[in-house]
Structures are given as C-alpha cells and as structure tokens.
Amino acid sequence: MQDVLKALGMSDSNRGGFSGEWTGSGKIQAVVSPIDGAKLADVANVTPAEFEAVLARCHAAFASWKLVPAPKRGEVVRALGDELRKHKEALGTLVSLEMGKALREGLGEVQEMIDICDFAVGLSRQLYGLTMPSERRQHRLQEQWHPLGVVGVITAFNFPVAVWSWNTALALVCGDTVLWKPSSKTPLTAIACTRIAEKVLRDFGYDPAICSLAIGKGSEIGDLINTDPRVALVSYTGSVPGGRHVGRLVQERFGRHILELGGNGAVIVSEKGDLEIALRSIYFGAIGTSGQRCTSTRRVIVHESIYPAFRDRLLDLYRKTPIGDPRMDGNLMGPLVDRAAVETMLAAIETVKVQGGKVLFGGEKLPNAGGCYITPCLVEVPGNLPIVKEETFAPVLYLMAYRTIEEAIALQNGVSQGLSSAIITNDQRESELFLSAAGSDCGLANVNTGTSGAEIGGAFGGEKETGGGRESGSDAWKAYMRRQTSAINFSGQVELAQGITLEL
C-alpha cells in the first residue's frame, strides 16, 4: 500500500481540497479497503469556508484558461494522458484497493482515461461550428463554440477515476475549469488524479486551479456546487434520487446539468443468436465490477424455446464463479463496495422471493475479512416484478422468458431507467427492429455484445430516469461549451429578416 501511495505522491494522511494549493482542515476520514477492511489512509475533508476559496480560485482560473487557444489546451490533455500512461499500474491498483474491483478492471478503467485524453487532443482542433446561408442578401450566419465556465464534476464510487476523466478531458479542451467532488467512498483515487493534473498544469505554467478538488459530503459540498451560479455546468453521476435533487437545484438557478443516473440493463437472447456469445456477455455484464456498473446486466430476456438450456448453462457458470481478493488474477469477482451494499443486495433477494421470484443460486455472504463478499445471485422471474424494475446496485441477475421479439422489446423497455440494452441474435430483422424507433428506448443499444464496457468514442448516457445526459465521445463536448450564433451583414445596407420593412 505504501508503495502505491508513494508512487502517486501521497502519504498516510492527505488533504482533500485543491485549487492551486492543498487545503482541508475538516473531518478526518479513515479510508478502508473493502478487500479486507484494512485502513488505507486518512483524508481530511474540506470545510465550507475552504470550499468557497477552492471555488473562487477555480472560477478565477477560468478567466485566463478560456483565452488559451484550444489546440494549446489539447497539448495539456496530451501530457495528462502521457502521465496517466506512466501511472497506469499504480492508479489501477489504487482503484482496486479503494473500491474493490478486479485489478484487471482497475487497469481497464485507467486505460479508459488514457483513451478519452487521446480523443480530446484530436477534438481540440475540431470544435466545429456551422456556417449557414442567410435569407438576407450579403449576410452570413455562423455559430461558434466558446468556453462555458466552471464544470462541477460529482462522481460515484464505482468508476472513481474514469468518470472524472471523461468530463475533465473534454472540459479542458473546451476551455472550462473543473471542480471535482468525488464519492466519499473513493477520495484517495481522486487525490491521486488531481496530483497528476496538478503536475501537468504546473509543468506547462498554467494555473493548477484549473483542475480543482473538494472532498466532502454530498449534502454539504455537493449542494454548494449545485446551488452556486459560478458553476456553469454540473455533471453528476449517481442514483436517480440523487439526480432528481441535483437537477432541481441546478435548474432553479438555470445552470446546466449532465445527469448520468441509474440503469437497469437487459439483454435479449434470441433463439437465433450465438449462445456462447450470449453466455459470456451476460456473465461478464452481471458479475463484472461485482454488478456495480450503471451499465451492468440486471435482466436477461430469453426466448422460451432455449430458456431451460440457457438457464442451466448460466447457472453452471454462476456456481463456478471465482470470488476473492480482486488483486489476484484468477478472481473474477471481488467484494462489494461496503457492508451496506451487501445488506441492500440481501434485502432485494428477500423482496424478490416475496414477489414471486425463484432464487436459483447465490446471495450467500462469504466469511472473508472485511465482510463485503457475497456470491452473485441468479433469480428466475415471471417478468418485470416491482423489485426487478428497481436498480439494485449489486450482482443480482433476473432471468425471464419471452415468446415474440415484440414482447421481448416491451419487457426490455418496461422499466423507468433507460441506459443500456443489448440483443444477441444473428437475425438481421430482429437486430434492426431492436435498433429502430420501435426498439430499445435506451441511450445504449448493442448487438451481439453485452450491456457494459462502452467505449469512449461514443456518447455515453441514457434516457428516462437515467437523466438524459451524454458524456465522453461523439458530440458530447457541446454540452461543455456555449454556442454563439451570429448574423454578419456585409451589404452596407439595412435589411430586416422575415421580409419586414422599415420606412423612416
């Protein structure tokens, strides 16, 4: 542990606020690993007064950062990606230690950070605006994209570093400054990332407050971000109730928000699909990150003709799941993030039994140190029972059968969340229907691959109670900029639009 912290410039006791200098004299929090309950390090939270100073500096940094040409800002992001490459092993290990995901997934998460940096470097030369024909003679219409301001990034424990990077890499090339409030469950990884960004910004001679940090409770520090008009955009990843709260506060002051809330991913397995692909994608989607991705597979909708055979093969995989210390290569599943998550999972299993579900396997607590280990659970259900419609952030997978493809799509869409979905089929009519307006209502709809593991090149996010925001690739950057439309008259005369005449 000491080596990992040292490699990332940290120590046993760390301060949780940064805006050019490190601050934090609030509550001291002992960060404990879900792997074995061992203490990792202390973090001092920021007080409201320290938060005010952090925000003020981050806001002040915007005034000069927005004037740096975008391709030059891209150079900073390139260096950030290079620095992350150097620290991939240490940072990936810290992710695994702090939130408990398998080391290979921790490394994958850091890779996702590197990928978005690469994407953003290219983007820094492509912040295109359109030129449009004017209806008036010798006039021209154009739009430009300008920096927006401070982006408040509020992240969840499950992707403790990648979500910051999706937002930060885009925000930086867009000319925005970033104020990050990470989950209180994963403050160490946030300090590590901020240290990396600090070094890069200092090397270039820019104000390091461009990447600021404020660690504290959501109800305190989070709400200071949500209510402050100096924060132009709040990008929030978390639960549906959390997002409803953030959305209300930010809307109240006409700020912008990107909400990336709960999912309830389903995979439709057609009798015309490749069952090996289905098995692997579903298994990884359900147990990967111990079922704690918003893109995790939570429901499997299987054609009735193959249902019994498919269920038995999946059950077989579940029975053999290697669970244990996530740093050991053989283990596919580590602990849940904390004991409360284990209790939430157990409660959902009790509820589904009462509602008519049949537990086929799992939901057994394991005696490992720390108390956060539990076997993944597979439950047979007759359809979208009330508890199935809720997102339980844990490895519980609900299996149900369907008769027609239309019925399967209706089951997939029959929940209030709309993040990720997939179909496993070799029938083009089925896959095209699934991707059509009559198909999946989710932001992500995959064919012959699972619900999780989205690449950064596409826009990431979902509909309905998932919140409607988009982060990462494609044109998600537009949410981080201010659009300016201009009419330019080079005629030497006055001509009004819409044919209006003005005789003086």
**Which of 83/112 has CB closer to ligand UN1?**
112
Query: Residue from 18, 51, 119, 159 that binds ligand UN1 (CB under 6 A)?
Result: 159
Q: How far apart are the first and last CA of the chain?
A: 80
The pair of structure tokens assigned to 162 is 């990648």
Residue 57: how many other CB atoms lie within 10 Å: 20
372 given a catalytic annotation: no
Asked if 158 touches ligand UN1 (CB under 6 A), the answer is yes
- Beta-carbon contacts of 407 under 8 Å, excluding residues fewer than 6 positions away, are none
Asked if 392 touches ligand UN1 (CB under 6 A), the answer is no
Question: Do 434 and 267 touch, CB atoms closer than 8 A?
Answer: no
**Which of 9/453 has CB closer to ligand UN1?**
453
Applying CB under 6 A, the span of 132-140, 288-296, 321-329, 423-431 interacting with ligand UN1 comes to 288-296
Applying CB under 6 A, the span of 334-342, 390-398, 452-460, 490-498 interacting with ligand UN1 comes to 452-460
Nearest to 376 by CA among 359, 392, 363, 387: 363
Asked if 294 touches ligand UN1 (CB under 6 A), the answer is yes
Residue nearest ligand UN1 by beta-carbon distance: 454
Asked if 96 touches ligand UN1 (CB under 6 A), the answer is no
Q: Please tell me the distance from the alpha carbon of residue 342 to that of residue 369, in angstroms, as a whole number.
A: 14
**Which of 273/467 has CB closer to ligand UN1?**
467
Please, where are the H alpha helices in 87-144? 88-99, 103-123
> Phi and psi for 340 in degrees, rounded to 5?
-60, -35
Asked if 183 touches ligand UN1 (CB under 6 A), the answer is no
Asked if 196 touches ligand UN1 (CB under 6 A), the answer is no
Query: Residue from 452, 466, 476, 477 that binds ligand UN1 (CB under 6 A)?
Result: 452
495 given a catalytic annotation: no
Q: Please tell me the distance from the alpha carbon of residue 276 to that of residue 310, in angstroms, as a whole number.
A: 10
Query: Residue from 23, 177, 189, 237 that binds ligand UN1 (CB under 6 A)?
Result: 237
The pair of structure tokens assigned to 208 is 């390091």
Between the alpha carbon of residue 179 and those of residues 62, 63, 77, 84, 211, the distances in Å are: 11, 15, 16, 19, 6
**Which of 40/454 has CB closer to ligand UN1?**
454
**Which of 439/473 has CB closer to ligand UN1?**
473
Applying CB under 6 A, the span of 9-17, 240-248, 287-295, 431-439 interacting with ligand UN1 comes to 287-295
State the minimum distance, in angstroms, from the CB of residue 162 to ligand UN1: 6
Applying CB under 6 A, the span of 131-139, 289-297, 328-336, 339-347 interacting with ligand UN1 comes to 289-297
Applying CB under 6 A, the span of 64-72, 128-136, 239-247, 451-459 interacting with ligand UN1 comes to 451-459
Asked if 154 touches ligand UN1 (CB under 6 A), the answer is no
State the minimum distance, in angstroms, from the CB of residue 192 to ligand UN1: 19
Applying CB under 6 A, the span of 222-230, 293-301, 331-339, 428-436 interacting with ligand UN1 comes to 293-301
> Phi and psi for 185 in degrees, rounded to 5?
-80, -15
The pair of structure tokens assigned to 79 is 């260096």
Question: Do 209 and 60 touch, CB atoms closer than 8 A?
Answer: yes
**Which of 26/106 has CB closer to ligand UN1?**
106
State the minimum distance, in angstroms, from the CB of residue 237 to ligand UN1: 6
Number of residues that bind ligand UN1 (CB under 6 A): 10
Would you call 297 exposed, middle or buried from its count of C-beta atoms within 10 A (0-12, 13-18, 19+)? buried
Asked if 293 touches ligand UN1 (CB under 6 A), the answer is yes
Between the alpha carbon of residue 172 and those of residues 113, 147, 192, the distances in Å are: 14, 9, 18
The pair of structure tokens assigned to 21 is 């200098």
Q: Assign 3-state DSSP to the chain and report helix, strand, coil percentages, each to 5.
A: 40, 20, 40
The pair of structure tokens assigned to 237 is 């990843």
Applying CB under 6 A, the span of 269-277, 337-345, 421-429, 448-456 interacting with ligand UN1 comes to 448-456
Restricted to residues 110-129, the positions that interact with ligand UN1 (CB under 6 A) are 112
State the minimum distance, in angstroms, from the CB of residue 350 to ligand UN1: 25
How many helices (DSSP H) and strands (DSSP E) are in the chain? 14, 24
Asked if 95 touches ligand UN1 (CB under 6 A), the answer is no
State the minimum distance, in angstroms, from the CB of residue 327 to ligand UN1: 20
Long-range contact list for 216-219, CB < 8 A, 24+ apart?
216/16, 216/26, 216/45, 216/46, 216/51, 216/181, 216/184, 217/45, 217/184, 218/154, 218/181, 218/184, 218/242
Q: Please tell me the distance from the alpha carbon of residue 310 to that of residue 150, in angstroms, as a whole number.
A: 50
Query: Residue from 295, 384, 425, 466 that binds ligand UN1 (CB under 6 A)?
Result: 295
Asked if 454 touches ligand UN1 (CB under 6 A), the answer is yes
Asked if 453 touches ligand UN1 (CB under 6 A), the answer is yes
Give the rounded distance of the alpha carbon of 111 from its chain centre: 14
The pair of structure tokens assigned to 98 is 């702090």
Residue among 50, 105, 112, 260 flagged as catalytic: 260
Residue among 294, 372, 377, 442 flagged as catalytic: 294
Between the alpha carbon of residue 340 and those of residues 28, 363, 371, the distances in Å are: 21, 14, 10
Residues lying near ligand UN1 in the complex (CB under 6 A) are found at 112, 158-159, 237, 293-295, 452-454
Q: Which residues are catalytic?
A: 260, 294
